[in-house]
Structure 1
Amino acid sequence: MITITDLHKRFRKTEAVAGLSLQVPEGQVTAFLGPNGAGKSTTIKCLLNLHRPDSGHAEVLGCDSRKLGPAQFTQMGYVSENMELPLWMTVAQFLDYCRPLYPNWDRAFEKQLLTQFDIPLTTKLKDLSRGMRMKAALLSSLAYRPKLVVLDEPFSGLDPLVRDEFIRGLLELTEQEGWTVFVSSHDIEEVQRLADRIAIINRGKLALDETSESLQSRFRAIEAVLPDEVRMPANLPVDWLHAEQAGRTLRFTASRFADDESMAAMLRNAIPGSQAPQIRPMSLREIFVALARAYRLEGK
């Protein structure tokens, strides 16, 4: 659905996107993550022809992003935290305005979404809560059954209940419709529920791209007790991230975990006499934080 090849975008002295290459597969939810200032929103704006890339190439729905037109936009849904809606309109007026722009607009599906999202038709957009406005924006981007849905920080500022309703609704619809979803968000817990695939960008370049299942299978939080008077060696394996010692306890993140036996053997080899480690799986949020810390250290 999306192919990005060596994409560059600079704003004066700041290179926001620095040679990014990425493919977004059809029919999956791809989470596009990264630290603040990594280039996520700039990349999305280049994909939607809101920014023109300085060099490189991006294709969306098989079309050069710089040549996107009505034929492509009627197959794409886009929701951003910074969307400017016509706040003076009621929800009904807003939908009346949007409907003629999309030949494939499905009135029955619109009605289903209105019920599912519990949006009041007669209320003006300006009088809706932020969460309700985001749901109205999502409805207006889904009612024409797009092939591709792009979400840029859609959960920002939403309370937990609305966020949960938003996610559940999007999950059900994505499975039902077989949509391709490309979502950028800082709400890692919510993304974990949605994403089939994780792509992480750092300083404008792709740092990681793999399935969510693969990523979580290879990361573990490790804690081990060292022998008396033994200090943590300086030359631990490079895939043991953020190793720290507190008293006799060594803690680190294993980023290439295979199985418990192999990890115990590696630990005994690195630090003879150490006890069998405690090993636990990590949430996507914990993995992201560990990687973000590693990226920050790499940049120093």
Structure 2
Amino acid sequence: MNSENVGYAIETWSLGRHFSRKEAVRNLSLQVPEGSVFALIGPNGAGKTTTIKMLMNIIEPSEGRAQVLGKDSRRLGPPELSQIGYVSENQTLPEWMSVRHFLAYCRPMYPSWDDGFSQKLIEQFDLPLDRKLRDLSRGMKVQAALVSSLAYRPALLILDEPFSGLDPVVRDDLIRGVLELAGYARWTIFLSSQDIEEVERLADWVAFLDQGQLYFAESVSSLQSRFRQIEVLLGDGEPSPRDLPASWMRFEMSGRTVRFLESSYGDQTIEQVKHLFAGCRDITAHAVSLRELFIAVARARRPRAQGGDL
């Protein structure tokens, strides 16, 4: 990700947060390119929400530092926060307010609030302005929160699992709406999720966090080019090699067929396989989905007893 010509909406250096004796996040260093849709993905308890709270200056890091829109996260104030939209799964809204009252309440806080754009969002989400927030479905509450976070055209939109638990049709509509708006305005979107299918639709950059530790952060295109599912049809009586390359994951053998996930696929891969399986009859390489990729990485990083699909 290091390029002199790339600007970063978010950068962290050895960022960490401890709660008593527990390390929620440790040694987190990443860069979020401007204009990207960057997904922070991992299972429950991975440290995703803690990371976002440090970026938003809701909690302070125990060590390291973060920079958001060029400003130290610990010094974010109204001028910087007016450029950041924030919607979270557990966001508290003033339930006693109507949608109209809620948006009118938010408006003076943001000098760049665009009434025309706000109205466009209201119409796009078909929000009932005169209904109380407490009477809205969860999907409509998320829509109201999105309008309040987008109407001032933020440079950075931070989403902490806002679509979790929503009806599939509502979630699809929201995702389509956010993608359309982000593409038009060239916003940077930083989102956390454990829904891999959602990430596959939304993101062009992905970081994988588990048990507070970052395992990789790179573009989706890079991930999909370097991971391949390899199948090898062995010759009769050919033994499976004992010493396998470290880049081979999820090694399985069924009859005379060997399958594994290659995490560093390149021009040399097939020749390496031919060398290790000298009597093989056939070798095939297949692209893998993000879901297959993340499951393999998660299982490789933790004891099998703690496993489970992402």
TM-score by length of 2: 0.91
The answer on whether the counterparts of 1:27 and 1:179 sit within 8 Å (CA) in structure 2 is yes
In structure 1, give the amino acid aligned to 2:176. Answer: R
Bigger Cα displacement from structure 2, 120-129 vs 94-103: 120-129
Equivalence for 1:60: 68
Equivalence for 2:90: 82
Equivalence for 1:294: 300
Equivalence for 1:23: 31
Equivalence for 1:191: 199
Equivalence for 2:105: 97
Equivalence for 2:281: 275
1:49 and 1:149 mapped to 2: Cα distance? 15
2:260 and 2:218 mapped to 1: Cα distance? 22
TM-score by length of 1: 0.94
How many residues were matched structurally? Answer: 298
Aligned pair 1:162/2:170, yes or no?
Answer: yes
Equivalence for 1:5: 13
Change (3 A) 1:189 1:125: same
Change (3 A) 1:84 1:252: same
The answer on whether the counterparts of 1:80 and 1:154 sit within 8 Å (CA) in structure 2 is yes
In structure 2, give the amino acid aligned to 1:292. Answer: A
**Cα drift, residue 298 of structure 1:** 9.9
**Cα drift, residue 70 of structure 1:** 0.7
SS in structure 2 opposite 1:277?
strand
Equivalence for 2:5: none
1:198 and 1:298 mapped to 2: Cα distance? 24
Equivalence for 2:249: 241
The answer on whether the counterparts of 1:152 and 1:183 sit within 8 Å (CA) in structure 2 is yes
The answer on whether the counterparts of 2:234 and 2:282 sit within 8 Å (CA) in structure 1 is no
2:288 and 2:237 mapped to 1: Cα distance? 30
Equivalence for 1:126: 134
1:117 and 1:280 mapped to 2: Cα distance? 40
**Cα drift, residue 15 of structure 1:** 0.5
Q: Which runs of 5+ in 1 are unaligned?
A: none
The answer on whether the counterparts of 1:10 and 1:17 sit within 8 Å (CA) in structure 2 is yes
The answer on whether the counterparts of 1:155 and 1:187 sit within 8 Å (CA) in structure 2 is no
Equivalence for 1:152: 160
The answer on whether the counterparts of 1:38 and 1:203 sit within 8 Å (CA) in structure 2 is yes
Aligned pair 1:49/2:57, yes or no?
Answer: yes
Equivalence for 1:205: 213
Equivalence for 1:253: 261
1:284 to 275, 284, 290: 290
> Identical aligned pairs, as a percentage?
54
Aligned pair 1:37/2:45, yes or no?
Answer: yes
1:228 and 1:124 mapped to 2: Cα distance? 71
Q: Tell me the C-alpha RMSD between the 2 structures.
A: 1.7
Structure 1 stretches of at least 4 aligned residues deviating more than 6 Å after TM superposition: none
2:289 and 2:126 mapped to 1: Cα distance? 31
The answer on whether the counterparts of 1:21 and 1:205 sit within 8 Å (CA) in structure 2 is no
The answer on whether the counterparts of 2:37 and 2:189 sit within 8 Å (CA) in structure 1 is yes
1:232 and 1:159 mapped to 2: Cα distance? 47
The answer on whether the counterparts of 1:28 and 1:197 sit within 8 Å (CA) in structure 2 is yes
SS in structure 2 opposite 1:161?
helix
1:77 and 1:254 mapped to 2: Cα distance? 38
How big is each residue's C-alpha offset from its partner over 1:216-271, in whole Å with a ceiling of 9 and x where there is no partner? 11111122222234443221111110101122221111111125xx4432222112
**Cα drift, residue 182 of structure 1:** 0.6
Q: Which runs of 5+ in 2 are unaligned?
A: 1-8
**Cα drift, residue 38 of structure 1:** 2.1
